[in-house]
Amino acid sequence: MDIVVFGAGSLGSLVGGLLAREHDVTLVGRNAHVDQIERNGLRIDGRLDTHVFPSATTDGTGLDADLAVVTVKAFDTDAAARTLATGSLDAALSLQNGMGNEATLAAHLDCPVLAGTITYGAMFVEPGHVECTGIGELALGPRDGGSSPLADRIGTAFGAADIETTVAMDMPRRLWRKLAVNAAINPITALARVENGAILDPPTADLAAAAARETAQVARADSVDLTDTEATDAVKSVATATAANRSSMLQDVESGARTEIDAISGYVVDRGEELGVDTPTNRTLATTVRTWERGLGLR
Ligand SMILES: NC(=O)C1=CN([C@@H]2O[C@H](COP(=O)(O)OP(=O)(O)OC[C@H]3O[C@@H](n4cnc5c(N)ncnc54)[C@H](OP(=O)(O)O)[C@@H]3O)[C@@H](O)[C@H]2O)C=CC1
Ligand SMILES: CC(C)(CO)C(=O)C(=O)O
């Protein structure tokens, strides 16, 4: 398969690098990283070890491919979609956190857009070099649920590159469940400057559970069958499994970078408003993180 990975940072480089073991991959990234990949290839170490030589470019316009895998941060999805729309694609797949990315891609692209979730972990070490911090699973499927020959074909292509892949018929439920986990863990750990495991202890656990329950209520109002218990159990199990991790939002806050709050807590609040569900906990968390970002001139 000809695959473009748009957003070759931590995750895009890991996924693109693994795909390059089997497919023709073009990474779209920033200058120093692209330069280094063109000179010396891409090195992946940590939980996996490989050295590959994908194509790399800083210019994502006019690219033709069987598949574009989108791995920019959620606030860059609109710009990525507009750039990808200048080329010719047979399909696109978002592996990003937060909600709304697939709809943004579909608004600009003239090809089917699949939804994806991934629990592999990736960290950018230096240009040309990323670390795999955890081997997890990639799930992909039609963004409205159900099955499709396209999802099956892409799932087979990821499996052929030895990426643990599930082709899922229930992507809307998986996306909302992941949203509940991120809505509970990310803003609280970022604001309190604590590791994920800290949200398991009372009274923080109550705050995290409230954020997850609100997310499940909005999901149900959006016709997705996610119970409060499933959402809160998912939060507990991810916080336990990643207890020593610093969430991506905490890492963003620590490095003074813009967060994905709009696509996480902000999405819960906005979709809740549209569907008549009150979300006071997510609203407070979103407002507080946005206030921090505004103070630094990040929005
Ligand atoms: N890292 C991980 O382990 C995981 C991440 N995710 C999700 O995956 C997504 C990506 O995360 P992550 O990889 O950590 O983020 P990164 O910021 O490391 O990667 C995104 C990269 O895309 C680049 N980029 C953005 N726009 C363009 C453009 N127009 N042209 C070229 N390059 C561009 C960014 O450059 P610049 O910063 O200069 O704009 C950055 O290098 C997020 O939604 C995240 O939540 C999900 C699961 C695990
Ligand atoms: C699951 C979790 C919370 C793991 O840290 C994550 O996705 C993130 O940090 O963004």
CATH of the domain at 223: 1.10.1040.10
89 and 234 assigned to the same domain: no
Instruction: State the ligand closest to the CA atom of 258.
Output: 1
Can you give the residue range of the structural domain that contains 146? 2-167
Tell me what pLDDT residue 291 has: 98
**Are residues 289 and 191 in contact, defined by beta-carbon separation less than 8 angstroms?**
yes
Tell me what pLDDT residue 227 has: 98
How many other C-beta atoms are found inside a 10 Å radius of the C-beta of residue 152? 13
Closest-lying ligand 1 atom to the alpha carbon of residue 133: 3
| CA 9/CA 37 separation, integer angstroms | 12
% residues pLDDT > 90 (the chain): 100
Give the total number of structural domains in the chain: 2
Read off the DSSP letter of residue 112.
-
Read off the DSSP letter of residue 70.
E
277 and 179 assigned to the same domain: yes
27 lines ligand 1 (CB under 6 A): no
Whether 73 is a known active-site residue: answer no
pTM above 0.80, yes or no: yes
**Residue 5 Cα to ligand 1 middle (Å):** 11
259 lines ligand 2 (CB under 6 A): no
Residue 299 lies in a domain: no
Residue 262 lies in a domain: yes
List the catalytic residue out of 178, 213, 271, 283: 178
Closest-lying ligand 1 atom to the alpha carbon of residue 101: 43
76 lines ligand 1 (CB under 6 A): yes
**Residue 29 Cα to ligand 1 middle (Å):** 9
20 and 128 assigned to the same domain: yes
| CA 283/CA 100 separation, integer angstroms | 17
37 lines ligand 1 (CB under 6 A): no
Tell me what pLDDT residue 74 has: 98
84 and 190 assigned to the same domain: no
Which regions in the chain score pLDDT beneath 70?
Answer: none
65 and 29 assigned to the same domain: yes
End-to-end CA distance of the chain: 38
Among the three residues 113, 139, 167, which one is the final residue of a domain in this structure? 167
158 and 212 assigned to the same domain: no
197 and 213 assigned to the same domain: yes
Tell me what pLDDT residue 161 has: 98
Tell me what pLDDT residue 199 has: 97
**Residue 6 Cα to ligand 1 middle (Å):** 9
CA-nearest residue, atom 10 of ligand 2? 248
Among the three residues 119, 151, 167, which one is the final residue of a domain in this structure? 167
